[in-house]
Structure 1
Amino acid sequence: MKRLVITLLLALGMAQAAQALEFRSVKETGVALYEAPALSAKKLFVVSRYYPVEVLSSQKEWARVRDATGGIAWIPAAALSKQRWLLVVSPQAGVRDRAGEDGRLLYSVPRDGVLELMEAPQDGWAKVRHRDGSIGYARITDLWGL
């Protein structure tokens, strides 16, 4: 019985690992998101370059994605980049010279702005780079796409 429980727990752990989140960013300006995986399908909205999306599944040349609002749509897979950009979801994200509230504030990015992820988050902070090249640390609670 104990062996069965351990086997089930291991299987559950592997299933959860297989469902790890995959985030990508739009690599072109003005890419349409569609209701179905076809250019003839209804266009739902257009996103800008660097906009992050969560890839839910892939089908041939299309990816089914979720955006920061929870909306689900289809996008041509060729329009996605592995480069990771994060969307600011709080009214403003402060970027500091080191991880922690005691870090000096370098600049702020308003809601819906984007920052490039430089390193995996640690202790609630992500090392990020602004499009102008400025590097610093932002709280992960202010960001979407991790």
Structure 2
Amino acid sequence: MTFPRLIASLTMLLAMSASHAFDFKTVGAAPVILYDAPSTKGGKLFVVPRGTPLEVVLAYGEWLKVRDVTGELAWTEAKGLTAKRNVIIRTPNLKIRATPDDSAAPVFVADKGVLLEVTESAAGGWLKVRHRDGLVGYVKNSEVWGI
């Protein structure tokens, strides 16, 4: 393999590994508009409510290509998103537990689609979360979307 070809292969490998990195942001204080192109002149697709997590797939200047919980891809302005971490429950009737343990008592039960604020990561793939009503408990990373 020639040196230029080796450099090109390594560059592609790095680009591919970077494309699999997940970066989640949360819609800030005001809802954001998702567009079909990185411009306010693009077609408006959706309005996403505040607090909703979005996966950042690509950054292009002041625009971000994002994926929502349904898997849809669209563009939004970076200024509308924050680093705060929220998650959405993936399954119906999920038990939010008192401690990060499958056998721990449930603090509350939440349905699919409920938004929770992440307050900290816990050991063993658990997250400490807070419901908007103030209830706090633990969920597994695999039970939510946005992490």
Structure 1 counterpart SS, 2:107:
strand
Instruction: Please give the TM-score of this superposition, normalised by the length of structure 2.
Output: 0.82
CA distance in 2, matches of 1:102, 1:60: 47
CA distance in 2, matches of 1:121, 1:46: 32
CA distance in 2, matches of 1:15, 1:142: 27
Q: How many residues align?
A: 138
Aligned Cα root-mean-square deviation (Å): 2.4
CA distance in 2, matches of 1:18, 1:33: 21
Residue 63 of structure 1 pairs with residue 64 of structure 2: yes
What amino acid sits opposite 2:49 in the alignment?
Answer: S
What amino acid sits opposite 1:83 in the alignment?
Answer: K
Unaligned runs of 5+ in 2: 1-8
What amino acid sits opposite 1:97 in the alignment?
Answer: A
Post-superposition Cα deviations, 1:24-55, rounded to whole Å, max 9, x if no partner, equal 01013432111011112111111111111110
Q: Which residue is equivalent to 1:108?
A: 109
Superposed, 1:42-57 pairs within 5 Å as 42-57=43-58
CA distance in 1, matches of 2:61, 2:50: 22
Contact 1:87 1:112 in 2 (8 A): yes
Instruction: Please give the TM-score of this superposition, normalised by the length of structure 1.
Output: 0.82
What amino acid sits opposite 1:130 in the alignment?
Answer: H
Structure 1 counterpart SS, 2:120:
coil
Change (3 A) 1:83 1:18: same
Change (3 A) 1:14 1:44: closer
Unaligned runs of 5+ in 1: 1-7
CA distance in 2, matches of 1:29, 1:79: 7
